[in-house]
Amino acid sequence: MMLEPKSFKELVLDYKVVFFDAFGVLKNYKGIIPDVGTTFDFLKQHDIEFYVVTNDASRGPQELAASYQKKGLREVVPERIISSGMLAREHLRYKVSTGTVAYVGTQGSAHYIEDLGLKALHISDVDIEDVEEIESLLLLDDEGFDWNVDINKAINLLRRKTIPVIVANTDLTYPVSKNDIATAIGGVAEMMEKIVGKKFIRFGKPDAQMFHFAFEQIQNIGHITRKEILMVGDTLETDILGGNKFGLDTCLVLTGNTLPNKYLQKIDSTGIIPTHVSESVVS
């Protein structure tokens, strides 16, 4: 293994498209990573296209893009955002044509359901004695509901009616400050799945479907092969494992989950090997 950190701006020149993970790569708990705009300029200058590929179903691509634009990063337009929430929405589009979709998350996250002309029913509004019209359950976000009451209600819904459950974010946790994390809806989903003993349908990295969806999206900018794409992420188990499995070259950056003084040991203990390592996307 040749896993010494290299300059991101040098190594990226070998690719035509970059997939960036969002958290730990472009931003962190303090906000946008300083000088990330210079990297976007550099990519533009060298005709390298980029996308943000993120496990996030709390908001739609419009709102996600807006959060970058407010910080002056105009390049991050909605068309460049590919989120696990979009995959869940595509799944509903193909598999659920009628009826009511119960959901767990903020009222805002319901737009993924309403976009499709389906009826969205917040878990707090579900009447457990009258579940006939509910055709599926969608787990979107860890906020916007009462954990104790509504997680138990969702579990009992699944015990009373056999319906598909779609999880729109596979992450177990997300960072909320320098030291602290919060449990993501993917973590709650694992507990629920274990308790009801049923199989949920999960969307998000490292699953190949996330990368296929991104790969399909970029084909409208011209024919791109896997060899021409670089996946950049801060997490071995999601970004790098998923990118590797899909056949992409991968670059681990050390600005998030994986610390500079521990990355070699983590690669060794997990057996997940990135193609490159960079200190950050501005290096």
Cβ nearer to a second copy, comparing 26 with 276: 276
Compute the Cα dihedral for 64, 86, 113, 101 and give only its sign: negative
- Taking the complex as a whole, the smallest distance from the CB of residue 66 to a second copy amounts, in Å, to 26
- Taking the complex as a whole, the smallest distance from the CB of residue 248 to a second copy amounts, in Å, to 8
To 5 degrees, how large is the angle CA 156–CA 159–CA 165? 90
| 183 makes contact with a second copy (CB under 8 A) | yes
- Taking the complex as a whole, the smallest distance from the CB of residue 23 to a second copy amounts, in Å, to 17
How many chain residues are in contact with a second copy, going by CB under 8 A? 61
**φ, ψ dihedrals at 81, nearest 5°:** -100, 130
Which one of the spans 33-41, 57-65, 92-100, 117-125 is the region binding a second copy (CB under 8 A)?
A: 92-100
CA–CA separation, 61 and 83 (whole Å): 7
Return the residues of window 30-89 that contact a second copy according to CB under 8 A: none
Contacting a second copy (CB under 8 A), which of 172, 224, 228, 279? 172
- Taking the complex as a whole, the smallest distance from the CB of residue 45 to a second copy amounts, in Å, to 28
| 152 makes contact with a second copy (CB under 8 A) | yes
Cβ nearer to a second copy, comparing 72 with 197: 197
| 195 makes contact with a second copy (CB under 8 A) | yes
CA–CA separation, 95 and 102 (whole Å): 15
**Cβ-contact 255, 283 below 8 angstroms:** no
Specify the DSSP class assigned to residue 23: B
**Cβ-contact 270, 237 below 8 angstroms:** yes
Helix segments in the chain, DSSP class H: 8-11, 36-45, 61-69, 84-95, 111-114, 147-160, 185-196, 208-218, 241-246, 263-270
**φ, ψ dihedrals at 277, nearest 5°:** -130, 135
The amino acid occupying position 135 is: E
Contacting a second copy (CB under 8 A), which of 21, 75, 142, 234? 142
Return the residues of window 219-278 that contact a second copy according to CB under 8 A: 226-227, 237, 241, 244-248, 267-273
Residues that bind a second copy (CB under 8 A): 1, 90-91, 93-95, 128, 142, 146-148, 151-152, 155-156, 158-160, 162-165, 172-173, 179-183, 187-188, 190-191, 194-201, 207-209, 212, 226-227, 237, 241, 244-248, 267-273
